[in-house]
Amino acid sequence: MFSVHDILSETGPFADCLDGFTVRPQQQQLAQTIAEVLSNDDSLVCEAGTGTGKTFAYLVPVLLSGKRVIISTGTKHLQDQLYYKDLPIVRKALNVPVVTALLKGRANYLCLHRLEYGDENFSYISKEDLSELPMIKQWATQTDKGDLAELTNLPEDAAIRSRIVSSAENCLGQDCSFYDDCFVFKARRKANEAEVIIVNHHLLLADLALRESGFGEVLPKADTIIFDEAHQLPDLASDFFSQTLSSRQFTELFNDTTVAYLTDASDMEEVQDEIRESQTSLRKLRLSFGRKERRSAWNEVFADKEIKEALQDFLDHLITLEKYMDILAERSKSLENCWRRCNNMIEMLQTFMERETEELIQWLETRGQGFLLHQTPLDISAIFQARLAEHGCNCIYTSATLSVAGDFTHFTDQLGLSQTNAQSWSSPFDYQKQALLYLPQGMPEPGESIYTEAVINMALPVIEASQGHAFLLFTSHRAMNEAYRLLAGRIDYPLLRQGDAPRSELLQSFRITKHAVLLGTNSFWEGVDVRGKALSCVIIDKLPFAPPDDPVFRARAAKMQENGQNPFMTYQVPKAVINLKQGVGRLIRDANDYGVLMICDPRLISKAYGKVFLNSLPNMRRSTELADVDEFFFEKMQGDVLSVSK
């Protein structure tokens, strides 16, 4: 067998072609283990601490294995980084002619049909969004891939995005006049010809869900699937193996039906009248759920007489619309497509009029002016394993945060992996020298109204000691906004807040702005890499427990209790530990980094379960004294001054 250990050594090819390459024993050991797993057609769960270099540790054996491998990442950003940055470096160093492909979900690719025939559709968006259309049309004549990521000036949340991409429901497939030039099918054909395919978890799980529903598949068969950032899988799999009906889906159905009606059935005015009445009924249904955003068990929601009547009224309108569309379906593929979608929505909506089964959790979610109706499996492990079995491959699951105090049970049980070999490789960083964990004394309980004010009062001297360069991570938007208000005017450092600009723009501002302080919530707890002096302090307000009133958690907790388990210790604590480890991982990203981690939650010390959290963190010095924070930064900054003077 080839020795990937030697390839990643000081005499290997990376030492010659990669500036700053350093030998990491953990990386070599992990790479060798993955090489053996690939060779033996086995599976593996592997936790690789921050700085291990896990990306190269799996890319090297993958490119040398001669096997077809699908690599799935946690986000599209990481997917692009892996394909356009990391993969070319490894391929060049190894000098292997491996055919690779990048594949995303269809909502990331321009749909030429909807761009060409969507004029009526575009009438439903604002003039500001519509102003992006000429740029999009110009780009459409130049792009080879049709990947909307190329449109760097088009905001992620631009309303026009949904009008220029297709969905599984409205795609015309081979009946489309643009089929031969379709960017989605071009990307899929390229993936079918590749040996290494880079995807993301959303696409891969959507593919597994398609297999479950019997509608075929998107991804080609592979020998092995590697899940990077695998800690995200349990929650994402729960979402993708759910069935969801949203107000947005209904709105898109009405918009698409209007376009198809005006094109092929304008002689039947009853259709347009029924669409308008259905839209009115949909708005009334949303209002019946109340104006506040909520996540509620459906049996509690449906007990409300007003909601029950509003849902029945909307369902009646949909049934009437479906009857008209049934008559018109033969006139065009677009009308037939809309009719089928309407029929499927009616069938699912009717399930919410009936009693839920023991295997499914029915629940409502409202967001702004929209809503979503969900049916989530109580247990996803059997479904996940069954879909992977249909794929007929082995799997490698890797992340920096899979274990809880060295125990993988929380992760493996959720995905049915209890029989899979699980191993851990520690971070190569010297946390004893590079970091300090500060646990302030005298904090109130997290549920008290003065808690966020106390967090800021305790954090201010730490931010002064670090001279800014700080992330403040919160478990809620409410706490983040209150903290921003309390900090404004009390520090002399630039203050940045999540939501005031796109995430990528905020991060870039933080990196280039001296002494900046950034406040963020869950999207900044992971997937953020700020190296060097720009970030030397991470302050976390609370232990990141999931809301106890979440309908999915409540249903699963009830099942755990039936089985004699303690849902708090079996599920809530381990899940919060994984989330905390992600937040902590923002601090030390390089062997030359240093910083203070401040966790304000007093439960780390006052509660017995606090030890589970502390035992799951990197082995860094701990202190409850502010003087130790001052001394830590003084010594490190003095070291910076001395190194510069040399």
What CA–CA distance (Å, rounded) separates 620 from 594? 11
Cβ 375 vs Cβ 361: under 8 Å: yes
Find all residues with CB under 8 Å of 585, minimum gap 6, and list them.
50, 400, 401, 526
Cβ 338 vs Cβ 256: under 8 Å: yes
To 10 degrees, what angle do helices 333-351 and 305-328 make?
150
- What local confidence, expressed as pLDDT, does residue 215 receive? 46
Residue with tokens 């202190």: 623
Q: Which two tokens stand for residue 347?
A: 């069938």
Closest CA to 132 of 109, 106, 152: 152
Cβ 125 vs Cβ 159: under 8 Å: yes
Cβ 587 vs Cβ 535: under 8 Å: yes
Cβ 70 vs Cβ 58: under 8 Å: no
- What local confidence, expressed as pLDDT, does residue 214 receive? 46
Low-confidence ranges of the chain (pLDDT < 50): 1, 214-215
Order of strands across the sheet with 621-623? 495-497, 517-520, 470-473, 537-540, 595-599, 435-438, 621-623
CA atoms lying within 13 Å on the CB side of residue 89: 16
> Please, what's the b/e burial string for 451-489 (b: 16 or more CB within 10 A of its CB; e: otherwise)?
bbebbbebbeebbebbbbbbbbbbbeeebbbbbbebbee
pLDDT tens string 289-339: 999 999 999 999 999 999 999 999 999 999 999 999 999 888 888 889 999
What CA–CA distance (Å, rounded) separates 406 from 412? 13
Domains and CATH numbers, the chain: 4-99+194-241+380-425 (3.40.50.300), 106-183 (no CATH), 243-377 (1.10.275), 431-645 (3.40.50.300)
Find all residues with CB under 8 Å of 487, minimum gap 6, and list them.
456, 460, 495, 517, 519
Closest CA to 594 of 645, 628, 637: 637
E strand or H helix at 44: strand 44-48
Q: Which two tokens stand for residue 183?
A: 């960017």
What CA–CA distance (Å, rounded) separates 460 from 517? 11
pTM: predicted TM-score of the whole model, two decimal places: 0.91
Cβ 373 vs Cβ 299: under 8 Å: no
- What local confidence, expressed as pLDDT, does residue 328 receive? 87
**What phi, psi does 597 have (nearest 5°)?**
-105, 120
Q: Are strands 422-425 and 394-399 parallel, antiparallel or unpaired?
A: unpaired
Q: What does the angle CA 567 – CA 571 – CA 572 come to, to the nearest 5 degrees?
A: 90
N-to-C CA span, the chain: 47
What CA–CA distance (Å, rounded) separates 106 from 159? 17
What is the distance of C-alpha 463 from the center of its chain?
A: 30
CB under 8 A, 24+ apart: contacts of 520-525: 520/471, 520/472, 520/473, 520/474, 520/480, 521/473, 521/474, 521/475, 521/476, 521/477, 521/480, 522/475, 523/498, 524/471, 524/473, 524/498, 524/586, 525/473, 525/579, 525/582, 525/583, 525/586
Closest CA to 634 of 596, 585, 591: 596
- What local confidence, expressed as pLDDT, does residue 175 receive? 86
What CA–CA distance (Å, rounded) separates 91 from 404? 35
- What local confidence, expressed as pLDDT, does residue 265 receive? 80
What CA–CA distance (Å, rounded) separates 27 from 233? 23
Cβ 398 vs Cβ 50: under 8 Å: no
What CA–CA distance (Å, rounded) separates 467 from 636? 12
What CA–CA distance (Å, rounded) separates 559 from 408? 21
Written as one string, the DSSP assignment of 501-525 is S-HHHHHHHHHHSTT-EEEE-GGGS
Instruction: Give strand pairing partners of 407.
Output: 404
**Three-state helix/strand/coil letters over 243-303:** EEEEHHHHHHHHHHHHHHHHHHCCCCHHHHHHHHHHHHHHHHHHHHCCCCCCEEEHHHHCC
- What local confidence, expressed as pLDDT, does residue 125 receive? 66
- What local confidence, expressed as pLDDT, does residue 122 receive? 63
- What local confidence, expressed as pLDDT, does residue 504 receive? 85
Phi-psi domain of 591 (left: phi exceeds 0; alpha: psi -120 through 50; beta: other):
alpha
Cβ 521 vs Cβ 474: under 8 Å: yes
- What local confidence, expressed as pLDDT, does residue 266 receive? 80
What CA–CA distance (Å, rounded) separates 380 from 382? 6
CA distances from 629 to 442, 493, 596, 602, 636 (A): 16, 19, 7, 18, 11
3-state secondary structure of 74: coil
Cβ 226 vs Cβ 70: under 8 Å: yes
Q: Which two tokens stand for residue 463?
A: 């931010």
CB atoms near residue 203 (< 10 Å): 22
